[in-house]
Amino acid sequence: TVQEFDTALYHQLFDFFYDHEFEMNSHKKQFRRILPQGFQNVLFSVSELEGELWLEVNLGIRINTVEDIAQQFLDNSKAFRNDAMTVVISVGKLTNNKYFKYKIHSKEDLEIVCDSVKSFMLQTGFQFLDNYSSLKNLDILFNKHPNKPTEYLYNQMHRCFKGAVIAKLSYNPKFLEVLDNYGYFMEKLGAKPTLLDQYEKLSAYLVHYSPN
C-alpha cells in the first residue's frame, strides 16, 4: 500500500539524510534541513495507478526574508505560510526528463529507488540546494529572464512576487526594470485583477523598502 511504502521509504533513507543534516518529517512527507536563513527540503509524493506505485521527488528551498514579504501579498492561507517554499523543482525537471517518476513493483524496486535517490542527491541534489540557498544565486535563477516562465517554481504568478522580492533583497541593479517586467508578464499570463492589484501593492512596498 501507499502507506506501507511511505513507511519503508523513510526508514530506508533516514540514515542517509541524517548524515547530511536533514531531519525526517513524515507528516509533511519530506526530509528537511534547517538553515539560519530558512530551510532546504526533499519532498516525496507517492501515488498509485493500476496497481503500481509511482514516486515523485522534489527539491525545495525556503528563504525566510523572501517569504516573510511575499506571503503578505499572496492569497495563500496563513496556516501554509511558514512552509511556503521559494524554490521547488522535481528531480525530473532537474535531469531534463520533465515527467520522470520512480516506479515501484516490489521490495527490490524500493531498494533500487532508494539507491537512485541517494545517488542523485550526492551527484546533483545537495549541490543544487546549497547553490541556490543564497539570495545572489537566486536572483540569477529567478530574474535573468523575468519575462519567461521558470522551471524552479510551479506557480508562475507566485514566481513574479518572489522574483521581485529577491531582486530588491539582492540589490539587483535592474530592480525597477524587473518589477515592470513581472507586471507585464502577469498580464500576459492572464492574472486576475485582484492579483495584479496585490502585485502593484507589493511593488510600491518594495520601492520604499530598505533591507538591513
Q: Mind listing the pLDDT tens digit for each residue in 67-99?
A: 999 999 998 888 889 999 999 999 999 998 877
Q: Is the pLDDT of residue 186 over 90?
A: yes
Quick one: pLDDT at residue 153? 95
Quick one: pLDDT at residue 117? 96
Percentage above 90 pLDDT, the chain:
84
Quick one: pLDDT at residue 106? 84
Higher per-residue pLDDT: 163 or 107: 163
pTM of the model: 0.93
Q: How far is it, in rounded angstroms, from Cα 39 to Cα 103?
A: 28
Quick one: pLDDT at residue 179? 97
Quick one: pLDDT at residue 13? 97
Quick one: pLDDT at residue 175? 97
Q: Where are the alpha helices (H) located in the chain, listed in sequence order? A: 2-19, 64-70, 78-81, 91-94, 107-120, 126-131, 135-143, 156-169, 175-189, 193-208
Whether residue 32 contacts residue 40, with contact meaning beta carbons closer than 8 Å, is answered with: yes
Q: How far is it, in rounded angstroms, from Cα 191 to Cα 133?
A: 28
At 174, give phi and psi (nearest 5°).
-105, 30
Q: Which three cell numbers stand for residue 117?
A: 535517490
Interval 193-202: pLDDT, tens: 999 999 999 9
Quick one: pLDDT at residue 4? 85
Q: How far is it, in rounded angstroms, from Cα 173 to Cα 115?
A: 44
